[in-house]
Amino acid sequence: MELKNNILVSGNADSTVRVWDIRTGQCLHTLQGPHKHQSAVTCLQFSRSLVVSSSDDGTVKLWSLATGEWLRDLVALQSGGSGGVVWRIR
């Protein structure tokens, strides 16, 4: 979970990422769909326009904060989340 200004982004055990407006308590976006994580979301960071999330499934995904759309996979470990080390993501 990460909070900046009035926006909270949460990673969830149901493999989704949710974007919340803490002033209203409204869920603005649920980041899911055909490119969603396949396991619990364990780590995330966000900026003014992007959300980066990682999961026990070995993937690191890039999402649009404004629209909630999946943009691309940054990392997809073939081992399903174990045995890999990521040194740099470009």
Question: Could you report the per-residue pLDDT of 52-79, keeping only the tens digit for each?
Answer: 999 988 889 999 999 999 999 988 776 5
pLDDT band at 83 (very low <50, low <70, confident <90, very high): low
Query: What is the percentage of the chain residues whose pLDDT exceeds 70?
Result: 86
What pTM does this model have?
0.79
> Closest Cα partner for 52 from 70, 38, 67, 34?
70
Query: Which amino acid would we find at residue 45?
Result: Q
User: Domains of the chain (ranges plus CATH)?
Assistant: 2-76 (2.40.10.480)
State both tokens at 37: 């994580």
Residue 46 has pLDDT above 80, yes or no: yes
Say what the pLDDT of residue 3 is.
86
Residue 33 has pLDDT above 90, yes or no: no
The number of CA neighbours under 13 Å toward the Cβ of 83 is 4
CA–CA separation, 74 and 90 (whole Å): 8
